[in-house]
Copies of this chain bind each other. A is one copy, B any other.
Amino acid sequence: MAAAAAIHLMHAAVHAHVHLLPNSKAANIQHKFKSNIELLTGDGIIPFAVELVAKSSMDMQPGKICRVIMEITRAFGSQGMVDGLYHELKVLNDQYLSSAGSGCYENYMITDEYICKKKEGELHACGAACGAIMGGGTEDDIEKLRKFGLYVGMIRGLMMGKSYYEPGIQEKLEEFNGLAFKVLESFRGKKNIELISSLVEPCPSYN
């Protein structure tokens, strides 16, 4: 529970800070608070989220808790969420500076997928891995569920940011859906697997 709450809190902190980034997609929202409040809100939430997980070591195995903290900090750190935000800003800045010709299309598709992986994919992968760690899964279970989380996150990320009718999106969604189902096959017959598989059930919006 603490790990899930921490991931949501860290995600909320990211949203608070994203509003401060000039040229970001969220920069033009109507700001409820001044930038100093938005900055310190995010800065206050991040340590609180980590403290929440660390505190649960009093009831749980502290070794597992440390591992969960590592998973969460990696997902939100400079090689995870921060990397995704940086590349997103870079793309928006490039688009702003030059009207990209059709020749650049493929490059943008790759960058978009990378941003989606860092911002949504690895966030969901982290959540799935944390669940597996806390639930006492084997190393193999943890890695399989991390992959499953990654594909679910990629599907969600692509569906949020893009129209289904944009070129290449439909194929990508079907690819990730297939990969996610493939990972789940090895868990066939295990408890609660229907609950997890419902996250990637054939959905009318893209099937």
A residues with a Cβ closer than 8 A to B are 14, 17, 20-24, 34-36, 39-40, 42-48, 50-51, 54-55, 57, 61-63, 65-67, 69-70, 72-74, 76-78, 80, 82, 85-86, 89
Chain B contacts of A73 at CB under 8 A?
Answer: 47-48, 50-51, 54
The chain B residue with its CB closest to the CB of A74 is B51
Whether B44 pairs with A78 at a CB distance below 8 angstroms is yes
Given A65-B62, A66-B62, the answer on whether A85 and B51 have CB atoms closer than 8 Å is: no
> 19 interchain pairs (CB within 8 A)?
A17-B43, A20-B35, A21-B40, A22-B34, A23-B36, A24-B36, A43-B46, A43-B82, A43-B85, A44-B82, A47-B76, A47-B78, A50-B69, A50-B73, A54-B67, A57-B63, A61-B62, A62-B62, A66-B66
B22–A51 contact, CB under 8 A?
no
**How far apart are A13's CB and chain B's nearest CB, in angstroms?**
8
Name A's interface SS: helix
Question: If A55-B70, A57-B63, A62-B65 touch, does A48 touch B36 (CB 8 Å cutoff)?
Answer: no
Chain B contacts for A72, CB-based, 8 A: 47
**How far, in whole Å, are A58 and B82 apart by their CA atoms in the complex?**
26
- A21–B47 touching, CB < 8 Å: no
Cα-based distance from A36 to B73 in the complex (angstroms): 20
Please report the C-alpha to C-alpha distance between residue A20 and residue B19 in the assembled complex, in whole angstroms.
13
Nearest residue in B to A79 (C-beta to C-beta)? B44
Which chain B residues border A22 with CB–CB below 8 Å? 34-36
Shortest Cβ distance from A18 into B: residue: B39
Give Cα A76–Cα B54 distance, bound, in whole angstroms.
Answer: 15
A82 touches B21 (CB 8 A): no
